[in-house]
Structure 1
Amino acid sequence: MRRVSRRALAVLPDLTPLRTLRDFRLLWFQGLVTSFGSSMTMVALPLQIKELTGSPFAVGAMGGVELVPLIVFGLYGGALADAVDRRRVILFSEAGLGVLAVALLANSLLPRPALWPLYVVAAGVSALSGLQQPALGSLIARIVPHDRLTAASALNFMRGQLAAVVGPSLAGVVVTYVGLPVAYTVTVVGFLLTVPMCLRLAPAPPLRETSRPSLRSVVEGARYAWSKPVLLGTYAMDVAAMFFAYPVTLFPFLADELGAKWALGLMYGAIPFGSMLVTGTSGWAARSRRHGRMVAIGAGSWGLAMAAAGLMSNVWLVLVCLAVAGGGDMVSGLARHTIWDQTVPDELRGRLAGIEVLSYSCGPQLGQVRAGTTAGITGTRPAIWGGGFACVLS
């Protein structure tokens, strides 16, 4: 029995950061609530665009609208996180995201909801997320001891996956049977809870005097990243995997083709469910030392499973393939974040976190544009399986 218990503990996630670190605990629960609300919107927003336009290209264009603000504010947010109190950046961007959620709710309550506010809000969310994510990422590396960073990354991933499984699955039911306004209301309520959590974080000013956010400071961070082949490799593999094999924007059309509109929320939830299975057994990750190999194997598995999802005609097999893809992506993600957190000096963490935001966010945004454009030419399922095979080849 003792041997079995030890083996079980060896694979279960390490909860030490949650138990012992107050600020990490606050950020974890703040992220859980925010991720849950955002997951509801992730289903509602593209579905609303689909209902208003009926066009795969219009849905995919949302990724293009989000891309430029993400690049500009992600880089600026990284420089800002190194120059000012990181808590302040997190707090003000969280409040701004709440205001944008109110705008989505207000538009959905109109007799004839307008299309253009959806793109404006999508761009605004992208900009504020670009500002916030570098501060969040660089703060984690400061408040968590070096030897607990992999455990903290696993817990953060598990938090996001839990919300991403429950949120979209519930959102699929809500938008189908209750309506889009209810989904947006859940998002607004979430921000009413998370802003006070951000207020309780301890101040996190720069550890040493740094220059004001500027193009020069951004370039300094980019030069450091360029000088580290291991960082460049992780960025390149992540962007390639997401650009070629991120067809999430096509899920409403795939559900229609498979005659399974009821499965839309499950499709959105299957990928994070597969990721959650990996983080739920992530005790092994803290002992792994071959992080580069993990990144490559995980990215290749993501592409193969996504290609299989595009080829399947049975909705349950599609869901299984999407879950397998999510597991592969999580293996890659755990390794990437461990490499990032353990190799970047604190005075550059914000700027490098901004580059990381571009790495793991620009790929999906470009992937949405690729998927929507390709689907308009070849059809939904070829756009999915073709992208999966292209990911493996890349």
Structure 2
Amino acid sequence: MPRLLVDTRPLRASPAYARLWWGLGLSQIGAQVTVMAVGLEVYHLTGSTFAVGLLGIFALVPTILLGLYGGALADAFDRKKVALAAAGVTVVGTGGLVLHSILGLTSTVVLYVLAAVTAAGASMSAPVRMAIIPRLVGNDLLPAANALGTMTGSIALTVGPMLGGFLAAFVGYGWTYTVDLALFMFALYALVRLPPMPPERATVGHHTNDAGDAGDVSEVADAADEPSRRVGFRAVWEGFRFLADRPNIRMTFVLDIVAMVTAMPRVLFPAVGAVLIGGGETTAGQLTAAIAIGSLLASAFSGGLTRVRRQGVAIVVAIVAFGLCTSAFGIVLLLLGRSSGERPGVVVWGLVVGGLCLVGAGACDAISAVFRQTVLQAATPDHLRGRLQGIFIVVVTGGPRLGDLVLGGSAERFGEALTAFGGGLACVAIVLALAAWQRGFLRYDARHPTP
């Protein structure tokens, strides 16, 4: 049993990593509190699921631009300084949400803009943080550090939405956003305490990382890819050019986009809590947390996944199961029916059974994420890893936001129940079609990683 659990050695080996892990873990909880609160506030002001979905579109553009640019910055400048700059953007966005509430404003446009600012900061910082962690723990402890990061993300997705729904219901939106701002200070402290992290020059041979661990590196770049501050469109384009000729890495991105656009039902939760299951904001938070509970369970007991070699097959199976779980959630909603107004109480069986469907969806999504990240890391050369991680961040954050718009628009026309049911089935059909088209992806072997 201990061999199935998460390895905590990185926390003991690197004090800088331990501070960053704790700081980012707490700040991720705060970020999820705000994501839930902003969605609830928009729904409260408009009564429209489509309006909640528009939050995703307003955040999508900065997510794409700064996610890609952040990856290029991670390969060119001191990563500590880039991370601090991104943190400043996040503070501005969250602080704006606090002021919006304190001043008693009710503008959804302002909420959209501030949500976009916070998304910009998060998208810019994520690939930089991913590039920092190997420097802190060394290659030997990197898998354990990634597992710890997955666990904190799952905990944040479990605790944050429930806390956000509770705070929004009982203390108001202003205090809810203030909690996020306070928790983010722990991450800011951890970033300030980091050592300087200028980009390493491409070398061959032995080196020592920032944690004091020795390791081997190979030549990772030619002269043009030395840390020459080249961070414009050409640098970003090199990552896309590499991706265009690597079908296995490309399929991991495409499959994730399909799953998130067709079958991630989170945008439906405010309406589900109001008129189908009942319970309002609290139910919406619980349903969101159910997905994260499944992810947490899968990541906490992920030791056995290291023995899986046919990782392409594993990704396809996990995403198909994800779609089926979303369709099962839709069936629960269909059985509940839609009332003419808001439900005065909670339909307990609907919350329990629907929540279990979402727990299954979260577990499948986490398993897919483990293998998609593994394929990306194993098949990408080091000198392009920052830029590919930038593309990865765009996919994993932009896909769900685009899905919010698609499913939100569908719910306005067909209802939340049919949207969840049909979206899950569409996910299954598209993924199986893609797998049949790209059969080489099903033959991917972790013992011989090929991009």
Partner of 1:343: 379
Partner of 1:255: 273
Partner of 1:29: 22
1:75-124 Cα distance to aligned partner (Å, 9 max, x none): 11111111111111111111221121111011112234322211111111
User: Against the structure 1 CA distance between its residues 141 and 286, is the aligned structure 2 distance closer, same or farther, given a 3 Å change threshold?
Assistant: farther
Partner of 1:4: none
Choose the corresponding residue for 2:417, options 352, 365, 381. Answer: 381
Partner of 2:240: 222
Alignment map for 1:1-394 (pairs within 5 Å): 8-208=1-201, 209-211=226-228, 212-256=230-274, 257-261=276-280, 262-312=282-332, 313=336, 314-394=350-430
Aligned length: 387
Indicate the larger mover: 195-204 or 14-23.
14-23
**1:365, CA displacement in angstroms?**
1.1
Structure 2 Cα separation of the partners of residues 231 and 149 of structure 1: 20
Structure 1 Cα separation of the partners of residues 185 and 279 of structure 2: 34
- Which letter maps to 1:285? L
Structure 2 Cα separation of the partners of residues 375 and 248 of structure 1: 12
Structure 2 Cα separation of the partners of residues 131 and 173 of structure 1: 29
3-state SS in 2 of match to 1:357: helix
Partner of 2:448: none
Contact 1:260 1:315 (C-alpha < 8 Å) held by counterparts? no
Query: Bigger radius of gyration, 1 or 2?
Result: 2
Gaps of at least 5 residues in structure 1 are 1-7
User: Against the structure 1 CA distance between its residues 356 and 326, is the aligned structure 2 distance closer, same or farther, given a 3 Å change threshold?
Assistant: same
Indicate the larger mover: 281-290 or 215-224.
281-290
3-state SS in 2 of match to 1:83: coil
Contact 2:239 2:384 (C-alpha < 8 Å) held by counterparts? yes
The TM-score, its normalising length taken from structure 1, stands at 0.94
3-state SS in 2 of match to 1:13: coil
1:252-298 Cα distance to aligned partner (Å, 9 max, x none): 10112222324221111111111000111112233333322222222
**1:315, CA displacement in angstroms?**
1.6
- Which letter maps to 1:260? G
Structure 2 Cα separation of the partners of residues 297 and 146 of structure 1: 29
What percent identity do the matched residue pairs reach?
A: 37
Structure 2 Cα separation of the partners of residues 141 and 332 of structure 1: 22
- Which letter maps to 1:295? I
**1:55, CA displacement in angstroms?**
1.3
Structure 2 Cα separation of the partners of residues 300 and 93 of structure 1: 36
**1:147, CA displacement in angstroms?**
4.3
Structure 2 Cα separation of the partners of residues 373 and 230 of structure 1: 32
- Which letter maps to 1:234? T
3-state SS in 2 of match to 1:319: helix
User: Against the structure 1 CA distance between its residues 291 and 25, is the aligned structure 2 distance closer, same or farther, given a 3 Å change threshold?
Assistant: farther
1:44-67 Cα distance to aligned partner (Å, 9 max, x none): 001000111111111111111111
- Which letter maps to 1:194? A
**1:219, CA displacement in angstroms?**
1.1
Coordinate RMSD, CA, aligned: 1.5
Structure 2 Cα separation of the partners of residues 17 and 337 of structure 1: 19
Gaps of at least 5 residues in structure 2 are 202-225, 337-349, 431-451
Contact 2:330 2:420 (C-alpha < 8 Å) held by counterparts? yes
Contact 1:238 1:359 (C-alpha < 8 Å) held by counterparts? yes
1:5-31 Cα distance to aligned partner (Å, 9 max, x none): xxx112111222222133332221122
**1:35, CA displacement in angstroms?**
0.7
- Which letter maps to 1:83? A
Q: Indicate the structure with greater helix content.
A: 1
